[in-house]
Structures are given as C-alpha cells and as structure tokens.
Amino acid sequence: MNNQFYTARDLNFGDIIFMLKASLTTIELTIIAIAGGMLLGVLVGIGRSSSNVILRVITKMYVELFRGIPILLQIFIFYYGLKIFNVKLPALFSASISFIFNVSANIGETLKGIILSIPKNQWESSTSLGFSKFSQLWYIIMPQVIRSAIPPSIGIMVGLIKDTSLASIVGFVELTRAGGLIMSVTMDPFKIYLIIAIIYFIICFFLTQSSRWLEKKLII
C-alpha cells in the first residue's frame, strides 16, 4: 500500500525515544504553566469573589478575555507580539506565557465558585472573633478552598496538557511536534499518531483517575 508514498526510512526505536523525550518537554511546559497560572489565578479568584464591584468587573473582563479567545490565537498573538517588542526568552518560557494567562482565567473562575460556596457564617463568625480581612482569607477561607480546589485543578491540568499540543503549530518541539518531525521522514502517520495518542492518554488518564480518587478521599 505504501508504494504511492515516498518514505526515507522506517520508524525505529530511536524515534520512540525521541517522542518520549518530547513528552517530558510537554510535562515541563505543563508544570511551568500550571504553577504560573495558579499564582495569577488565586488573585483572579479573590478579585472575582470580592464585594468590590469595580474589582469584580475588571476580573470578569480578564476571565472573559482569556476564555473567549481560542487558545491557538492566544499562542499566535503572544508569539508574534513578543517578537514585535523584541522580548527574547527561552523557548520554554515564551511558549508557556499564553498558557499561564489561559490557566489563570480558568482557575480564577473555579476558585470564585468555591469561595462563594463557603457558608457566609464563616466570614461573620471570624469577623466577630476579630480577624482582619487578610487573616480571614489566609486562616479561615483558604484552607477550605484549597482542599476542594484540588480535584478541579487537576481537571484544568488535564485540559492544559491537551492544549500544550497546540504549541506545536508555532514550532515548539513538544510531543505533537516531535511526531510531525518524525512523520516528515518516515511518512507513517498511523503508527506515529497512535503512539502519540497513547502517550497523551496515559498521562491524562492517570491524572483524571487520581482526581476522581482524590474527590472521594477529600469529601468534606
């Protein structure tokens, strides 16, 4: 069947090692993006759930902006935008910037839901005990929020791992791009994309299952 497609060589063991190495890059990218996204996302979540209307509108606009534009376009805009402003960063960081903003919007929205679901009397009783606004958040609200935020954050992380495959379009060599590179030599899309799909599946399935397990474990 292959006679109509020119192939330089067959898929070999080295290619699979290359793909596994590239999947490590995918994981690195995910970890950087989720760490940055969480730091920003906590601020967004606090803003989204605050009683200050202006703060709420600003953070709402932020969330709508980064959730209403396709992640692919955000990657394009940051990729060409950084070029225009002559910002030179290592490839890993410049690839993760667009994911950081996207993840922070998602995490902020999740945190808002969780913060608002905490009963009002917790705020009231901590106020009556003389807690300041900051120590209320830090000692009373946040420990509960973090506990119930873990399973949805893992869900966001799974989405992020899948989204990092889009960085391949601007030429960042992660798992999907590595497959594309190998394909340009072996011209064997079926095996390559099957292997890639299996690698992604293993990573994501492990995370989804652990999130389900944690959800049962952390029932409050």
Partner 1 sequence: MNYQFDFSIVSINLSILLQGAANSIIISLVSIVLGFSLGLIFALLRSLNIKAIKYFIICYVELIRNTPFIVQLFIIYYVLPRIGIYVDAYPAGIIALSLNCAGYATEILRAGIESIHESQIEAARSLGMTYFQIFRYAILKPALITIFPSLSSLFITILLGSSVLSAISTPELTSIAYSITAYKYRHFEIFSFIAVFYLIMSNTLSIIFKYLEFRFLSIEGKQSILKFFKNVLIG
Cβ-based nearer residue to partner 1, 139 or 206:
206
Residue 85 binds to partner 1 (criterion: CB under 8 A): yes
Contact partners, residue 3, CB within 8 Å, separation at least 6: none
Cβ-based nearer residue to partner 1, 132 or 209:
209
Residue 51 binds to partner 1 (criterion: CB under 8 A): no
What x/- string results for residues 146 through 165 when contact with partner 1 is judged by CB under 8 A? ------------x--xxx-x
Distance CA 160, CA 155 (A): 9
Binding partner 1 (rule: CB under 8 A), the pick from 11, 27, 32, 69 is 69
Binding window for partner 1 (CB under 8 A); candidates: 9-17, 84-92, 127-135, 146-154: 84-92
Q: What is the torsional sign of CA 98, 154, 44, 35?
A: negative
The footprint of partner 1 on residues 168-197 (CB under 8 A) is 168-169, 176, 183, 189-190, 193-194, 196-197
Q: Angle at CA 48, nearest 5°, toward 42 and 52?
A: 120
Residue 204 binds to partner 1 (criterion: CB under 8 A): yes
The structure tokens listed for 203 are: 């990573």
Distance CA 218, CA 130 (A): 30
Give one DSSP letter per residue of 78-119, joined into a string. Answer: HHHHHHHTT----HHHHHHHHHHHHHHHHHHHHHHHHHHHS-
What DSSP state is assigned to residue 8? S
Binding partner 1 (rule: CB under 8 A), the pick from 8, 13, 68, 128 is 68
Residues of the shown chain interacting with partner 1 in the complex, contacts defined by CB under 8 A: 1, 48, 53, 56-57, 60, 64-65, 67-74, 76-77, 80-81, 83-86, 158, 161-163, 165-166, 168-169, 176, 183, 189-190, 193-194, 196-197, 200-201, 204-205, 208
